[in-house]
Amino acid sequence: MRRVTTLILLAASASALRAAGTVRVVTKDPTGLAVPDAVAYVVALDAPVPVQPPAEPVAITQHDQMFDPYVTPVVVGTSVVFPNRDNVQHHVYSVSPAKKFEIPLYKGESTAAIVFDHPGPVTLGCNIHDWMVAYVFVLSTPYFAKTGADGAADITGLPPGRYRLEVWHPRLAGKVGRELTIAESGDTTQVVSVTLRPDRRIRRAPDGGSSDYK
Amino acid sequence: MGSNGLRLPQFRRFGTRLLLLIVALVAVAQCADYVLVRTANRRNAIGRINENLRQGTLLFTRRVDARLDELSGRAALMSDDYSIRQLFLKDQPDPATVRSALDSYKVRMGVPFMALLWPNGARIGDTGGPLPAAALRPFQDLVKVAEVADDSRAKGFARLPPEGPSGKLYSLLVVPIYAPPPEIVAWIGLALPIDHAFAKLLKADAQLEVTFYYGSTSDMLPVESTLQEGIARSSAPPTSNDGIMTVDVGGESYVTAYRPLLPLITPGRAAIALQRSLEEELISSRQLERFLLILLIASLVAAALVAPVFALNLSKPLRALARHTEVIARGDYAIHLRLDRADEIGQLATAFNRMSEGLAERDRVRDLLDKNVSPEVAAQLMRDGGALGGEEREVTILFVDLRSFTRLSESMAPREVLTLLNRYFDRMSGIVEIYHGIVDKYIGDAIMAIFGAPVEQSGHADNAVLAAIEMKSALARLNAELATEGRAKLSFGIGINTSRIIAGNIGSSRRLNYSVVGDGVNVAARLQDLTRMSQFSADILISAATLRAMRGRYRVRDLGAAPVRGRDEPVEVFSVEGAE
């Protein structure tokens, strides 16, 4: 059975005129529930906007044998570090076309930073723990935001102009996108719908150290 | 049964019929038994085979599933293996390395063929081996199925190249390689042959013959079989069939279950046939049937041997009874039937003996009666009993009296007198009986005879007159005999009268005489008296009433009227000289 979720993006309109506009995106599935961890981003259509990777590396930690955060949107060229805060070793890897790498078994804060230098989705895994999965979405636009638990995301600092709004999610089925124009006068409201594939993440293995027999 | 009905052969002898009856009953019972057992055995065998076949098809499905599930588990281990992921850390996996890795896994998993495919189904590499690259198409079809499956796996059957007789049926399995789950970076394809070893394994488990077929919808050929090629070919499944049926192969019945191999990835039709020979299943039952057959023959023989003895035991006393009946019919009551049996036949023999005793008793009584009274009176007494009473009827009375016998007897010894008298009475009485008269009584040397009673007869007057004429002749013959003996001759006179009189049993309830009462009797006696008178000089005198009653023609002389004692009126007298 394939569960289909429709994500509705609501770009709320703002009444006040600003120099830089904001697009508020609210994601909902067909039943009206919020969909977190979706990356909403806009691509300028009039002229390419250069991206500036952050000076400090972004961290995706391993804690309690889970990646945190689950989805990390970054711009091209961003360095990501993978601090291991568990007392077991992890072996982080990716075989995704946008970034293939591996950090063989290690433990602790200090690891080499991985530079994500190609746009596209990158799936992270751990060779030791099958259930560990996380995504890095590498963007070539500086305008993006990730939906929170309430399914809302605000893309801010948009100069007036024409853009293409797109949404990405690990379980996104098909491409979702539309053009929108940010006016001088203020914030813009846009509505976009997407479909999600069923969630097929596997369960984590039972804690081997647990001995609370009943 | 009507004469136009079914004609059964008739056997006169009871023994033969009994023999046939018993043998027929035994034959029918035993044959029915045999047929019923045989039918039931066959039905049970088919039922058992059907059940076996159902179990067999389940077993087949479970075995195929189990095999694939096990492989699936091994493949999952492989797909989660670090070294496999290592291959995908490079932009393009090195073909030689992929081939080597797959060869290693092939050995580890014990499968003859493995392929590695990109998520879109394109080939990354394979183990080669018995299957050429063209064999990848079914795997690619399965990938499309697996993509949308809940567990991202797919399996099915396929006929893989080379084409022709050397092509084999395979179980195919496609499992994903995750990096990490649920991200699928590649597919592993596995092929397990449905080969002779597998067929033999199934046969060993299910005790059924196993054949795999592949072909077009209309024409299917065996690709693997535990049966001989010819038998397998003959029992190819009929068009689009899925079920159990009995197939006749070379005169032997095979109960066969067909089950399509689904899903079949390659075009055409594939099926498994599970079979069991009915004859083989019936082997144990056949022993019972043979035993029953022997029992059947043995009981027939026993029946044929015992029945005649039994029949003889029954018919012998019956024949003896029949013979005894004939003896009794002949009037011999002295012989007793001796049968030492307590059954119905013994009772019958006892009843027969009682009957013959009863008959003998009756005969003795009858005999005595006959000697004391005339046969007709005796018959009437036997019939009516000794009831008192009488009836009025017309009869002819005859009196015959020896003349001068008293004087004659004085010169003879009493014994001689009685002998002579009895000799004379014997002749005369015989004549009376010949003419249907009865001797009513002997009165000294006289006889009183009656014609027309107790049995009514129409010609009683003629009978009396004819008897009188015959008596005359008999007396002449007796006299001739007496003359040769040197004795004096006898002479008699006969008086005959016809009259209405009362006839019946006369006397007390203890002693009865059948006789007649009436004036007519006296007239006859008087007419007899008249024969002594010289004026008549006749031996036979009859009255006018007798003359009127006579129908025959006789030489009769009218002697005129004569006065008789005890009567006022003279009586007309006629002399009978003889018959005309």
Domains and CATH numbers, chain A: 5-48+143-196 (2.60.40.10), 58-139 (2.60.40.420)
pLDDT in tens, B11-39: 667 777 878 888 888 889 989 988 999 89
Domains of chain B: residue spans and CATH: 43-281 (3.30.450.20), 386-579 (3.30.70.1230)
Which of A3, A4, A7, A21 has the alpha carbon at shortest distance from A189? Answer: A21
Q: What is the DSSP string of B481-509?
A: HHHHTT-----EEEEEEEEEEEEEEEE-S
Residues from B contacting A (CB-CB < 8 Å) are 80, 82, 85, 88-91, 148, 150, 152, 178-183, 185
User: Which residues of B fall within a CB distance of 8 Å from A200?
Assistant: 152, 181-182
Neighboring chain B residues of A97 at a CB cutoff of 8 Å: 91
> Among B254, B199, B197, which residue's Cα sits nearest to residue B53?
B254
Alpha carbon distance B374, B428 (integer Å): 13
Alpha helix segments (H runs only) across B110-255: 136-147, 196-206, 229-234
For A98, name the nearest residue in chain B, comparing CA atoms only: B91
Nearest by CB to residue B85, choosing from A124, A127, A201, is A127
- List pLDDT tens digits, range B440-462: 888 888 999 999 877 788 889 99
ipTM for the predicted complex = 0.80
Identify whether the C-beta of residue B76 lies closer than 8 Å to the C-beta of residue B42. no
pLDDT in tens, A114-159: 999 999 999 999 988 989 999 999 999 999 999 988 888 999 888 8
Q: Do A95 and B89 lie within an 8 Å CB cutoff?
A: yes
Query: What CA–CA distance (Å, rounded) separates A173 from A168?
Result: 9
- Cross-chain residue pair B183–A91, CB shorter than 8 Å: no
Question: Residue A200 and residue B181: Cβ atoms within 8 Å?
Answer: yes
The distance from CA A31 to its chain's CA centroid, rounded to whole angstroms, is 22
A64: phi then psi, degrees, rounded to nearest 5: 55, 35
Contacts of B150 in chain A (CB under 8 A): 1, 198
Facing residue for A133 by CB, picked from B90, B152, B180? B180
Average pLDDT score over residue span B279-308: 87
Query: Is the CB of A101 less than 8 angstroms away from the CB of B181?
Result: no
**Ramachandran category for residue A85: left, alpha or beta (phi over 0 → left; psi -120 to 50 → alpha):** alpha
> What is the per-residue pLDDT across A169-190, written as a single tens digit (0 to 9) for each?
999 877 888 888 888 766 776 6
The model's pLDDT over B116-153, given as tens digits with 9 standing for 90+, comes to: 999 988 888 888 765 666 678 889 999 999 998 888 89
Which residues in chain B touch residue A95, judged by CB atoms under 8 angstroms apart? 85, 88-89, 179, 185
pLDDT bin (cut points 50, 70, 90) of residue A18 is very low
Average pLDDT over residues B291-319: 85
Mutation target for B interface from A70, A102, A200, A201: give the one with most B CBs within 10 A. Answer: A200
| Cross-chain residue pair B180–A100, CB shorter than 8 Å | no
The total number of residues shown for chain B amounts to 580
> CB under 8 Å to A10, separation ≥6 — which residues?
A24, A25, A26, A28, A189, A190, A191
- What pLDDT, on a 0 to 100 scale, did the predictor assign at position B162? 67
pLDDT at site B117: 92
CB pairs under 8 A between A and B: 52
Please answer yes or no on whether A202 and B90 come within 8 Å at the CB atom.
no
Instruction: State whether A93 and B182 contact (CB < 8 Å).
Output: no
Residue with tokens 């491409």: A175
Per CB-CB distance under 8 Å, the chain B contacts of A131 are: 180-181
Across all residues in chain B, what is the average pLDDT? 84
The minimum CA-CA distance between A1 and chain B, rounded to whole Å, is 6
